[in-house]
Amino acid sequence: GQNIDQPTEMTATEGAIVQINCTYQTSGFNGLFWYQQHAGEAPTFLSYNVLDGLEEKGRFSSFLSRSKGYSYLLLKELQMKDSASYLCAVNPGTASKLTFGTGTRLQVTL
Amino acid sequence: DVKVTQSSRYLVKRTGEKVFLECVQDMDHENMFWYRQDPGLGLRLIYFSYDVKMKEKGDIPEGYSVSREKKERFSLILESASTNQTSMYLCASSPYRDPQPQHFGDGTRLSIL
């Protein structure tokens, strides 16, 4: 079976840095995706990792360790608009299917 | 930009009805997916299709069927709607070559009374 774990909720202050962790146990691995989903809206793609290491995209970075089955999404200089759910998803190598975690709801406060 | 369009944002139906949810994408993507999203359970895959007339079951196909007669359109069918199918339904598409991010529609919030 496939198992992806991430914290349910996190709170952080505007201007701060927050790290959202994701651990996975899947039958195979062909990449890990992070999505952002604002309440009532569609998930939007943030980042993709398939090799170990850090991928940086502006204020957002994502890290992967395949040997540990672990990834994190790092959000810097938090803004109120970053309040959203963040979804971790793994492609286990079966066609283009993704297995999603339950998502982490991030609340940014003043 | 990729555009995935779902036919309705909100839909209310009665138990026992046959319900059709439609999804259209405009980027010539081979892969299309149907998910449902429930609080505490996240996104769960119902069915997906990697080509016209091709379909494969996802993790929770029971009570659902799909149709893909044209490349750009993927329909989800609730054969006989039940109250436990009240949910947010999300359609997504992606190119065939791996791995590629999936692009999502805005979702249909379906209530079965």
pLDDT at B99 over 80: no
The pLDDT, as a whole number, for residue B40 is: 87
Cβ neighbours of B51 (radius 10 Å): 12
What is the pLDDT, as a whole number, of residue A94?
Answer: 66
pLDDT of residue B100: 83
Give the residues of chain A that fall short of pLDDT 70. 94
Residue-level pLDDT at A36:
97
A/B interface, count of CB pairs below 8 Å: 59
Mutate to test the interface with B, among A8, A86, A96 (most CBs of B within 10 A): A96
B96, pLDDT greater than 90:
no
The per-residue pLDDT for B84 is 96
Q: Is any Cβ of chain A less than 8 angstroms from the Cβ of B108?
A: no
Q: Do A91 and B98 touch (CB under 8 A)?
A: yes
Interfacial B residues in 62-81 facing A (CB < 8 Å): none
Exposed e or buried b for every residue in B15-42, given b needs 16+ CB within 10 A?
eeeebebbbbbeeebbbbbbbbbeeeeb
Of residues B100 and B58, more confidence is placed in B58
Across the interface, whether the CB atoms of B102 and A48 are under 8 A apart is answered no
B90: Cβ contacts below 8 Å, ≥ 6 apart? A42, A43, B6, B34, B35, B36, B37, B43, B104, B105, B107
> What value does the mean pLDDT of chain B take?
94
The predicted-structure confidence for B12-66, as pLDDT tens digits, reads as follows: 999 999 999 999 999 999 999 999 999 989 999 999 999 998 999 999 999 999 9
Q: What is residue B2's predicted lDDT score, i.e. its pLDDT?
A: 66
pLDDT recorded at residue B47? 96
- Asked if the Cβ–Cβ distance from B94 to A43 is below 8 Å, we say no
Whole-angstrom Cα distance, residue B52 to residue B9?
A: 25
